[in-house]
Structure 1
Amino acid sequence: MRGLLTVLVGLGAALIAGVALANGSDEPWEPACPPERACPSKETVELGRALFLSSAISPARRSCATCHEPTHGYGASAATTLKFKDLPRSIPSLLNLSHQRWFFWDGRADQLWQQAVGPLESEAEMNSHRLFMVAAVVSNTKLRTSAMAGGALGSRELVALRAALGHSTASACVNNESCERAWQTLPRDQRAVVEAIAHKLLLSLAAFQVSLKSRWTAYDDYMASGKGLSERQLRGMKLFFGEARCSSCHSGPAMTDAGFHNLLLPSPPGRAREDPGRFRGIQHLRALAASGDMGYVPSEIAMHLDLNNSVWGQFKTPSIRNLEGRSEFMHNGVYKNLRDVLGYYNTLADAQVVHHHQNALLAPLNFKEDQLEDLEAFLRIFTRRRD
C-alpha cells in the first residue's frame, strides 16, 4: 500500500507543483488562467460574470445562476433541482470547465460559447433568445457599460444595434417563441449585426465560466506533501486507484477522463428510461456544423466523430472534485447522495441494459460495508479545505 501511495504522491506532485506555493489552502486548486495560456482580459471576464448573474437577459427573469448557483459549487441546490425536475437531465456543476473537451452530459457542444446558446434559448430553462439578450444589454445601463468595457460592444455597433432593435421587434419579444418570430422579421443584414454582438457576449460568458475553479483540498495537500490523510482515507485511496477501479474514469488533475460511458443506470421517475446520450449528442454536433449557426466552426476532432451504436446511452464522466453540496448524482439524478452511488457500483442492482449495450468496465465491486465507508471517506476529501 505504501509503495502505491508513494507513486501516486510523486505523480500528483508533478502535476500540481507550483500551484501549492501560489495558492495556499483557501485558493483554487489551479490558477484560473495558467501563464502558458492566452488569457482573456479582466474586463472580458467581468462582462461574462455580469451576464452570468443577470436575469435581465431572460424574459422569464432567470439567469445562468438560477440553476448554476455560486453557493452550491455552480451546481443546483435541492430546491432548484426540485423546481426544474422536468428537465430531461440533472444540472451539472460548472467548475473546472477548462478540463473539458465536450459540454452537456451528451457532449453536444464542443465550444463553451456555443453551449450557452442551449439553455439561453431553451423554453424549459431561460426561455430567451439571442435577440432578447442583445436588446437587454443595449437597454440595461450596467450591462451596456460592461459590454463596452469588455470589448463586446463599440459605439458604432451600438448605433447599428439600436437601429436594428428599433424595427418594432424588441417589444414583441417576450419568450423564445415570440422572439423567434420577431427575429424572422429582421432584415438579414440586421440579423448579422445582432448575431455578431451575441457571439462576443457569449465568448465573454465562456471566459468567465472557464475561470471557475474548485478550491484547494486535503487531496491536493496530500499529493503535494504525502501527509494529512487518516488511515481510513488512505485505505479508501488504495481502493479508489486499485480494486474499485474508480480511476479508470476519474483520473487526471480534474479527476475525470472527460470521456463518455454507459453505466447502465436505472431511471428515476419522470425521466426517460432510454436516453440516447452521446449518440444524440454527435447527431446534434453534425447538424450544428452543417448550419454554421452564429459563425460556429466545429473543432477538428468534432468533425471526425464516429456515429455508431457503441456510443448509445453514453454520458460524460463528471469530475469528483467539489462533491459537497450536490443535490443529485449521475446524468439523470437517480441518486441523491454519495453512499447510494457507491451502493450501485457495489451491486449494480437495477442496472438497465438497453439494446444489449454493455459496459466492459462495469462489474459489481462486492465490497464489505467497511470498505465502502473507507472509499466514501476518501471521496469526501475532494471538498475538504485545509484548516
Structure 2
Amino acid sequence: EAELQRNTPTVAGLAWHTWFYWDGRKDSLWAQSLAPIEAPAEMNSSRMYVARLVGQSPSYRAFYENLFGSYPGILLQPGKLDHASPIGDAKRQNNWYRIPAGQRQLVNRVFTNAGKALGAYVRTLEHGASNFDNYVEQLERGNYRKANKILDARSRQGLKLFIDDKKTQCLRCHNGPLFTNFEFHNIGSGNFDGDSLDFGRLLGLPSVLQDEFNCLGPYSDAPSTGCIHLKFINRQPDESLQGAYKTPALRDVAKTAPYLHDGRYTSLKDVLQHYNDIANTKKINAMSELNPIDLSDDELLALESFLLNLTGSQK
C-alpha cells in the first residue's frame, strides 16, 4: 500500500470528459485505465503480466476473443517473462527490450484492448438525478410551489449566488450539465516547493502529447478526422499552466471528500473558505486566477447548502 500525492476523483460521469487525471495527462478513458496498472504506488504490475493473464485465463480469453479477435498465442510460449514494461524498474525495462519488437507490439495491443474494456465499463457509471434536477424540472413545468418544496430558501439563495457571474463567478469554470468546463484553471493550489512538487497542467500537457496511448497513437480507434483536442491544442506550455488543474465536476460533490487535487480540505466549508480568502491564496500562489468574492458567513452556508443538493439518487 502507498499514499498517493493526489486526491482520487470520482469515476461517475467520466464518459463526458476529454482529459483525465488532474493534469490531463491522458486523453481517453481506456488510456487512463492502463496507467494505474503499471504505477509503482498503485497496482505495480506490468503490461506483459496483463497480456499473459488475459491469455491464460479461460474466461478472460473467451471474452477477449469475442470482442477483439484471436489472442496472440505466441505471448504464452514457455520462457516468456511475467513482468516486462518500458516503464517501471530497471529489471522490467530490461525484460521489455529483450522481447522482439513485433511481440512488444502484440503485448501493447492486448494491454490496450484490456484498457478499452475497462474504459467501456467506466463509461456506464453515471450520476443519478439530484434535488437540483428535480427542482429545475418542476420550474420548467411551471410548478413553482413544488419546486420551492424541493429546495429550501437557503439552498435557493445558494443557487442565486452560484449563478451570479459578478459576485461569485462560479460559472466561469463550473458550468454545464456536470458543473465543469472540463478544462484547467489555477486556483492557487499548486505545490512548487518542498517534497511534494506538483506543477499541474504544465507537465500534463507534454505528457499527453508524448503518450504512446493517446488519441493520435497507433493503438487508438479514433477516425482520421478525430482527435481534434490534440490536433489543435496549443503545444507550447506557458507559465499560466503552472499549478493549473482540471475543473472537477460538482455532481455528488458532498460524497467525494477530500477536496482539491491533493485532498487538502476535508469539508465543503473549507473549500468555500479557500475561494473566499483570495488575499491569502495569492500570497501563496500569485498566478491564481481567482478574484475576490467576499461572501458573508451566511452566504457561504447558502452556497454549501446548494452544493449538497447536487447529490444524486443511486442508479
Calculate the TM-score normalised by the size of structure 1: 0.68
Q: Name the amino acid aligned to 2:163.
A: F
How does 1:183-332 map onto structure 2 within 5 Å? Answer: 183-226=96-139, 227=147, 228-242=150-164, 243-265=167-189, 272=196, 274-288=197-211, 295-296=219-220, 299-306=227-234, 307=236, 308-332=238-262
- Judged with a 3 Å threshold, the aligned counterparts in structure 2 of structure 1 residues 267 and 311 are, in CA distance, closer, same or farther, namely closer
- Judged with a 3 Å threshold, the aligned counterparts in structure 2 of structure 1 residues 256 and 187 are, in CA distance, closer, same or farther, namely same
Shift of 1:241: 0.5
Give a deviation string over 1:3-55, Cα, whole Å, max 9, x none: xxxxxxxxxxxxxxxxxxxxxxxxxxxxxxxxxxxxxxxxxxxxxxxxxxxxx
How does 1:1-387 map onto structure 2 within 5 Å? Answer: 84-85=2-3, 87-149=4-66, 151-152=67-68, 154=69, 157-158=70-71, 160-161=72-73, 163-171=74-82, 176-177=88-89, 178-226=91-139, 227=147, 228-242=150-164, 243-265=167-189, 272=196, 274-288=197-211, 295-296=219-220, 299-306=227-234, 307=236, 308-348=238-278, 350-351=280-281, 356-359=286-289, 362-385=290-313
* Runs of at least 5 residues in structure 2 that lack an aligned partner in the other structure: 140-146
Shift of 1:189: 2.0
Distance 1:290 1:217 in 2: 35
8 Å Cα contact 2:37/2:45 also seen in 1: yes
Shift of 1:376: 0.5
Distance 2:175 2:125 in 1: 20
Shift of 1:290: 11
8 Å Cα contact 1:88/1:271 also seen in 2: no
User: Match of 2:274, SS?
Assistant: helix
- Judged with a 3 Å threshold, the aligned counterparts in structure 2 of structure 1 residues 268 and 90 are, in CA distance, closer, same or farther, namely farther
Indicate the residue corresponding to 1:23 in structure 2. none
- Judged with a 3 Å threshold, the aligned counterparts in structure 2 of structure 1 residues 171 and 100 are, in CA distance, closer, same or farther, namely closer
- Judged with a 3 Å threshold, the aligned counterparts in structure 2 of structure 1 residues 271 and 385 are, in CA distance, closer, same or farther, namely farther
Distance 1:189 1:334 in 2: 45
Distance 2:83 2:178 in 1: 45
Shift of 1:366: 1.9
- Judged with a 3 Å threshold, the aligned counterparts in structure 2 of structure 1 residues 343 and 370 are, in CA distance, closer, same or farther, namely same
Shift of 1:109: 1.5
Q: Name the amino acid aligned to 2:36.
A: P
User: Match of 1:191, SS?
Assistant: helix
RMSD, aligned α-carbons: 2.9
8 Å Cα contact 1:106/1:316 also seen in 2: yes
8 Å Cα contact 1:167/1:186 also seen in 2: no
Distance 1:214 1:301 in 2: 25
Distance 1:278 1:267 in 2: 12
- Judged with a 3 Å threshold, the aligned counterparts in structure 2 of structure 1 residues 190 and 327 are, in CA distance, closer, same or farther, namely same
Distance 2:122 2:41 in 1: 22
Shift of 1:267: 5.3
User: Match of 2:188, SS?
Assistant: coil
Distance 2:160 2:83 in 1: 60
Q: Name the amino acid aligned to 2:183.
A: G
8 Å Cα contact 1:110/1:299 also seen in 2: no
- Judged with a 3 Å threshold, the aligned counterparts in structure 2 of structure 1 residues 318 and 183 are, in CA distance, closer, same or farther, namely same
Q: Name the amino acid aligned to 1:332.
A: D
- Judged with a 3 Å threshold, the aligned counterparts in structure 2 of structure 1 residues 173 and 312 are, in CA distance, closer, same or farther, namely closer
